[in-house]
Structure 1
Amino acid sequence: MTTQEVSVELGIPVGTLRYYRSTSSGPASFRLGGRVRYRRADVVAWVDEQERATRRGEGAA
């Protein structure tokens, strides 16, 4: 996925995703042909991790 595609899917601004990439705090990414790409599975895993870390209320671990 491109940065723009991840931005649209998650509702996170491209600039924020770039910041996350620079601080290694966002979904795993890599370069393909000189362009940043994300594997969908890595994006989903990162969202799941964020949910586990911040979940409140019923069913919170």
Structure 2
Amino acid sequence: MPRNPRPAIATGSTSRTPLATPEEVAAYLGVPVKTLYQWRHRRTGPNTLKVGRHLRYRWPEVDEWLAAQATYDLTA
């Protein structure tokens, strides 16, 4: 039986599914998937959810985490 695609939600000009896979988040952040797993182990990365045995990310939490990582050079 074919799997039903996950429903997409609109966020700005792009469409993303409500829950993201590690591969999707890694591509979005421009880091290797292995880095996401290291961040999860160190508890320094975006929050994760366990869905069964799979890791998933909520896009709003990824965006909040990314915004919190921003550093600004006020001396320039």
Q: TM class by shorter-chain length? A: 0.7 to 0.9
Structure 2 unpaired stretches of 5+: 1-19
| TM-score scaled by length of structure 2 | 0.69
* 1:28 paired to 2:47: yes
Output the CA distance in 2 between the equivalents of 1:29 and 1:55: 27
Is the helix fraction higher in 1 or 2? 1
Tell which structure's C-alpha radius of gyration is larger: 2
| TM-score scaled by length of structure 1 | 0.85
Structure 1 unpaired stretches of 5+: none
Output the CA distance in 2 between the equivalents of 1:27 and 1:55: 20
The sequence identity of aligned pairs, in percent, is 36
Structure 1 outlier segments of 4+, above 6 Å: none
Q: Give secondary structure in 1 for the equivalent of 2:45.
A: coil
